């Protein structure tokens, strides 16, 4: 399984830190090209590779850590996303409601990535907290996971666990998306699951 992160701002960098902390290889890309990411990759060590957007899109599993409305430009890069998983770590703060047309935001994302499995997670914490070691007070920081395809949601939940979080699978984004959307009750909750 290969991984890449699109976006190297607050969230993309936080995710890259978690991959680095856990020794899981990942690519990272932005609009400005790999040279702009050289310092970050050097700081995070050999498991984080700065790459072009085009190369990042070759990964099996692609994390979107970009402004929500930018997802359509990324989705337009390929006509068929069959076999790939898109992890939607975006939020819709500032996005006009009409852009969602009453749909869960990850279902809107899915329409721009035809053939891909889309899983929503890693969007719920402020980036500073997302970047920190998820181990706290003898437990692990909770991360909710939702996806319309059970198998890919479970696979991403396992990856979320490998990154150190305590994943909680919620179900289909059309059913539970609102819980993970802007202002939803599970957003900005710093919950710790105790080991037992």
Ligand X SMILES: NC(=O)c1ccc[n+]([C@@H]2O[C@H](COP(=O)([O-])OP(=O)(O)OC[C@H]3O[C@@H](n4cnc5c(N)ncnc54)[C@H](OP(=O)(O)O)[C@@H]3O)[C@@H](O)[C@H]2O)c1
Question: Of 20, 41, 86, 90, which one interacts with ligand X (CB under 6 A)?
Answer: 90
Bridge partners of residue 62, in order along the sequence? 4, 86
Indicate the residue among 150 and 189 with the shorter CB distance to ligand X.
189
Residues 131-190 that bind ligand X (CB under 6 A): none
Pairwise CA distance, residues 25 & 125, whole Å: 23
**Interatomic CA distance for residues 182 and 180, integer angstroms:** 7
Measured from the CB of residue 64, what is the shortest distance to ligand X in angstroms? 8
> Any contact of residue 68 with ligand X (CB under 6 A)?
yes
Shortest spacing between CB 196 and ligand X, in angstroms? 28
Which secondary structure element, helix H or strand E, spans residue 75, and what is its range? helix 71-75
Count, residues near ligand X per rule CB under 6 A: 25
Between 109 and 157, whose beta carbon lies closer to ligand X? 109
Least separation in angstroms between CB 81 and ligand X: 15
User: Alpha carbon of 80 to those of 116, 147, 187: distances in Å?
Assistant: 8, 19, 31
CB of 86 within 8 A of CB of 122? no
Binding of ligand X by 10 (CB under 6 A): yes
Helices first, then strands: H and E counts in the chain: 8, 10
Q: Which residue is nearest to ligand X (CB)?
A: 9
Least separation in angstroms between CB 156 and ligand X: 16
CA distances from 143 to 4, 18, 124, 165 (A): 19, 13, 7, 6
Instruction: Judge contact between 34 and 6, C-beta under 8 A.
Output: no
Contacting residue, 21, 58, 70, 132, with ligand X by CB under 6 A: 70
- Please say which residue, 30 or 106, places its beta carbon nearer to ligand X: 30
Residues engaged in binding ligand X (CB under 6 A): 6-12, 30-32, 53, 65-68, 70, 73-74, 89-91, 93, 123, 126-127
């Amino acid at each position: 399984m290969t991984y890449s992160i699109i976006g190297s701002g607050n969230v993309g960098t936080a995710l890259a830190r978690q991959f680095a902390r856990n020794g899981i290889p990942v690519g990272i890309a932005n609009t400005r090209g790999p040279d702009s990411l050289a310092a970050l990759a050097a700081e995070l060590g050999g498991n984080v590779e700065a790459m072009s957007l085009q190369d990042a899109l070759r990964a099996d599993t692609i994390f979107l850590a970009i402004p929500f409305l930018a997802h359509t430009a990324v989705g337009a890069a390929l006509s068929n996303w069959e076999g790939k998983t898109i992890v939607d770590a975006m939020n819709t703060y500032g996005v006009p409601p009409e852009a969602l047309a009453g749909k869960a935001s990850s279902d809107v994302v899915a329409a721009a990535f035809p053939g891909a499995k889309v899983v929503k997670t890693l969007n719920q914490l402020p980036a500073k907290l997302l970047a920190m070691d998820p181990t706290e007070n003898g437990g692990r920081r909770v991360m909710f996971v939702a996806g319309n395809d059970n198998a890919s949601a479970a696979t991403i939940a396992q990856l979320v666990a490998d990154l150190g979080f305590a994943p909680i699978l919620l179900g289909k984004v059309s059913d539970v998306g609102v819980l993970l959307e802007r202002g939803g009750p599970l957003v900005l909750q710093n919950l710790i699951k105790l080991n037992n």
